[in-house]
Amino acid sequence: MASVIWFEDVGRDDIGDVGGKNASLGELIRSFSGTGIKVPGGFATTAQTYWRFIDFNNLREPIRARLEAWESGSETLGRAGAAIRELILEGRWPAEVEADVVSAYRKLSERTGRGSASVAVRSSATAEDLPTASFAGQQETYLNIAGEQELMDACRRCYASLFTDRAISYRQLNGFDQMKVALSIGIQQMVRSDLGSAGVMFSIETETGFDKVAVINASWGLGEYVVKGSVDPDEYRVFKPLLGLTDLVPILERRRGSKERKLAYGDVASPTQDVLTGSEERARLVLSDEEIVKLASWAVAIEAHYGCPMDIEWAKDGQTEEIWVVQARPETVQSQAATNLLSTYRVNSKGRTITRGLAIGNAMAAGPVCFIDHSSDADRFVDGAVLVATTTDPDWVPLMKRACAIVTDHGGRTSHAAIVSRELGLPAIVGAGNATQLLRPGETVTVCCAEGDEGTVYEGRADFAAEQILLSDIPQTRTKVMLNLADPQAASRWWRLPADGIGLARMEFVISNSIQVHPMALVHFDDLRDQAAREMISDLTRGYADKTDYFVDRLSTGLARLAAVAFPKPIIIRLSDFKTNEYAGLCGGSQFEPQEENPMIGFRGASRYHSPRYREGFVLECRAIKRLRETMGFRNVALMIPFCRSPQEAERVLDTMAENGLKRGNGLEIYVMCEIPSNVILAAEFARYFDGFSIGSNDLTQLTLGIDRDAEELSSLFDEQDPAVKWMIRKVIVEAKAAGAKIGLCGQAPSDHPAFAAFLVDCGIDSISVTPDSFVAVKRTVAAAEEIRKRGLEDRGQ
């Protein structure tokens, strides 16, 4: 049949014949047959068939004339596009083309065992799904089409969609000749995801380009709502390097979306219909852990086959429970980004938070709010404004190009608004939920996507500056320069920095921001006296049979996102170091904490871990770390004990950890914070219990000088470069080296004072851990100090 070709007979080199989408479907079927990756079968009309239809109806010259009239300015895009579409919709099928399509459809129906197979009719242009241009949603797709005449009508509508206003303008923007782009049509067996679920996944992290993570979006029903951004889907992150290893479940995040509606099958007159989801569907995660891992493994396999990051659509059949890949195309933004350049933003001051949502991109922009109901209202939009809308679709692209930033109520990372914003290089916040209600037309706001996964709209024009780091200019050093990180959502922004690992990962940030609940309130939930706390905990832990599992799950996944950025280099996680007043501020915490006059030197750190007051809470911390290392596979995790006052206390803490599956040795290193004078004085004894020391310069300074670091009256005396403090630091470095223990420092001083970093290098410290924004400066300071030290040793003949 000259007009059609079966998917299994084409591959990715056949874009000129069947377009990018169909060529990729054929490539998937040919390459992954028998591997477990399922792709629904079907066939495609050829690009030549499109031209046969155009020439049979004598449409080339009328189409060219309308396009030239638009380009010359004598006719509007809207009128030109509508006229071309009308010409195509009135066209007749050449008899042999219709016969070929109908014959193939009958054969496909026989394959599926149905009289008239339900199919998806997808447009596949010869200039789409390319590595440099996605053409996201530019042409139409029609779902649940059944019947021969219905199929031919849908095919005609696909041809017409090649000349929607958005498609015409998108081709012009990307430099494609309008009269040389043809359309192939894919006719593909439908997967009954209307009874199951569907979504999109990327084989890299879409906002940062972090190539070790796969991101999956999922919602109930047909996948169109996820693609169009009509729903807020679930989102899952999976760490790719640990996939396929025995019994590991490297899922970094499971974020439940609201999923308030779904697209389901309709009737002949309307093949699909909008349906509200039930409360049970909204509360439940769409995919099981097994399904999440399976999809991520497929993403890895498909990425490896194509040799580039991939954007993949999938569907789960609600009747058979089988998962299928229904499309795959190259990712077009991060794969084209400069790998040697890291762009960051420094926020100096900002207004109050108005609303939040998912951050798309990692940039910032400020401008007046302009709320638009429909793309037809484009004449009301002010160039350079912040576009605020319920959602967007491909008709909005010309309007989106005029905005400085975009904010939508609905959508996920794979929605139309997200994809196009990335391609345009615009900061966008999607899934904000209530932006159209909270933002006022004309008010100046700042859209910030530079602070992690979550994007924020701030009131007014924030004071911020963009910075670019050329990674090839960062020098190498003998002294390891590591990162201090706490926020899992922002960590992957720094994956390109050539750091030697993470020297300090603060557990408290995950507990206070992701968990929000005192661990003892989960252990003793039935004994809680605070009714408001009980209600909040019940809401947060919904879906967990055991409330303590909530703590273990959220802590392990939060820390896993930090560990993933460092992998396979080490990450040193400091066990919880809240003060009692900070613990009391957690939900349900006041019932379990004593009131202290000076919490800074009170019931904190190691003394809590073996105390009856907190031991059960510490057990949950141990369970989370054990899960992180053994179930998820992050063996690069080391641990650090804060505020350990004596060797005897060190022994008790290590015994408690060993009882809970965290025994030092066999790949698990345990460090101690050196922040108390006793840690320096008895360094040789402490070294018997720990693999290394990490100097906490803030606490060591306050306890050496006898100054409360929070005392404003004494702030001028608080100096980490005081001779007494430097004596302490040099002393413990010498003692650690003599004992064969590792020694590093995690504090702000090397970032603020280059001379202090040089002092540490001169002492022979093994590592310095600093904040990401100061990494490059400290790295250069250390390199210069090492060169000076090297020359000095050479001059002394050493």
Residues with a catalytic annotation lie at 416, 746
**Residue 95 carries which side chain, given as an amino acid letter?**
A
β-strand pairing of 571-574 with 670-674: unpaired
Q: Is 304 exposed, middle or buried (0-12, 13-18, 19+ CB in 10 A)?
A: exposed
Is 428 in contact with 409 (CB distance < 8 Å)? no
| Residue 582 vs residues 511, 596, 604, 703: alpha-carbon distances, Å | 11, 11, 10, 20
Which has the closest alpha carbon to 128: 137, 116, 119, 115?
137
Query: In three state form, how does the secondary structure of 342-379 look?
Result: EEEEEEEECCCEEEEEEEECCCEEEEEEEECCCHHHHH
The whole-angstrom separation of Cα 191 and Cα 112 is 11
Q: What is the DSSP string of 244-282?
A: TSTT---EEEEE-----EEEEE--SSSSEEEEEPPHHHH
Q: Pull the structure tokens for residue 274.
A: 């909008």
Query: And the tokens for 176?
Result: 């494609």
User: CA angle 643-556-204, nearest 5°?
Assistant: 125
In single-letter form, the type of residue at position 170 comes to: Y
3-state secondary structure of 175: coil
> Of 2, 10, 8, whose CA–CA distance to 48 is shortest?
2
**Angle at alpha carbon of residue 574, lines to 573 and 580, rounded to 5°:** 145
Neighbours of 777 (CB within 10 A): 15
Q: Is residue 130 left, alpha or beta, with left meaning phi > 0 and alpha meaning psi from -120 to 50?
A: beta
**Which residues partner with 324 through β-bridges?**
315
Task: Please state whether the peptide bond connecting residue 754 to the residue before it is cis, i.e. omega within 30 degrees of 0.
Answer: no
Distance CA 262, CA 285 (A): 14
Backbone φ and ψ for 529, nearest 5 degrees, come out as -95, -25
C-alpha 555/C-alpha 506 separation (Å) is 11
Do 610 and 604 contact (CB within 8 A), yes or no?
no
Contact between 296 and 238 (Cβ < 8 Å): yes
Across-strand partners of 589?
A: none
